[in-house]
A and B are shown apart, each in its own frame.
Chain A
């Protein structure tokens, strides 16, 4: 009996099963769930406050810079997409290319910050403040709460970029980049609800 026959008799290896796996470590995901809970409560508070005075909210919502909100949505989505490409590049063993994607994501995030600061400056100039109306109180506090998360997200993306440039991430070392990516995607995810809720639904 030569080798080929023996091989023929050997049972076929089981198909490669991709076991269910959470991308990133448990600690970051517990943190993400806590943040989603906080934002969820905030969104509900806004929605039910609006229910008490829909006309006021509709009138003051019209004065918001919706285009700034839409461009910021595009910037956050594009940053998220670049982060996905960075994770894929690391997974494929091309960590340095991943660094370039992360830098592009940071650029989009910086664009979001610039537009948001300009939006706030125009709002304050128009006399909008935390006490000028219930709508303005929610608009400023909700978007500022999110803005803080964008800034933290940029610090995390910066750390990922430094590590990726040093070639720290590959198929066997994905935990750091997946954890940082998950946080950034959460910042994008909550904005996908915040933008229609605050800027558009009336």
Chain B
């Protein structure tokens, strides 16, 4: 069991590092002041990946019954889709 915990620790540490890098990317895009549909889609994509990493690894839902994976990942996908739809609706 200890070996299993150690590899789980390593995986979470790598994910944490990637999540920090992704956050820095989002911040840098914001600081650059860039906007528009492509940038919005990119930022939503990054948020989707970050959320999925937290759901599957940090919340340990990778090992949960399928229903709970669908409910949480489904929530994330639906919210990002609604935000994207609203963004598209607001375009001139």
A51-B87, A52-B90 in contact; A20/B64 too (CB < 8 A)?
A: yes
- Checking A21, A23, A54 against B90 with a beta-carbon cut-off of 8 angstroms, the contacting residue is A54
Q: Is A8 an interface residue (CB 8 A)?
A: no
Which B residues are CB-close (under 8 A) to A23? 59-61, 63-64
Q: Is A171 an interface residue (CB 8 A)?
A: yes
Closest residue of chain A to B9, judged by CB?
A88
How far does the Cβ of A200 sit from chain B's closest Cβ, in whole Å?
A: 4
Q: Is the CB of B5 within 8 A of A193?
A: no
Interface-lining segment among A36-44, A116-124, A148-156, A158-166: A36-44
Closest residue of chain A to B91, judged by CB?
A54
How far does the Cβ of B78 sit from chain A's closest Cβ, in whole Å?
A: 7
Which B residues are CB-close (under 8 A) to A189? 51, 54-55, 59, 76
Size of B's binding interface in residues, CB under 8 A: 55
Interface string of B43-87 (1 = CB under 8 A from A): 110110011001101111101111010011001101110110111
How far does the Cβ of A174 sit from chain B's closest Cβ, in whole Å?
A: 10
A22-B65, A88-B12 in contact; A185/B30 too (CB < 8 A)?
A: no
Q: Is the CB of A70 within 8 A of B16?
A: no
Q: Is the CB of B2 within 8 A of A193?
A: no
- Checking A39, A54, A171, A185 against B54 with a beta-carbon cut-off of 8 angstroms, the contacting residue is A185
Chosen A-B contacts, 30 in total, with CB atoms closer than 8 Å, are: A20-B66, A21-B63, A22-B61, A29-B68, A43-B83, A47-B82, A47-B83, A47-B87, A54-B90, A66-B30, A66-B31, A70-B23, A70-B26, A74-B23, A77-B19, A78-B20, A81-B13, A88-B5, A181-B59, A185-B58, A188-B58, A189-B51, A192-B50, A192-B51, A196-B26, A197-B83, A200-B26, A200-B30, A201-B43, A201-B44
Residues of A within 8 A of B (CB): 18, 20-23, 29, 33, 36-37, 39-40, 43-44, 47-48, 50-52, 54, 58, 62, 66-67, 69-70, 73-74, 77-78, 80-81, 83-85, 87-88, 91-92, 171, 178, 181-182, 185-186, 188-189, 192-193, 195-197, 199-202
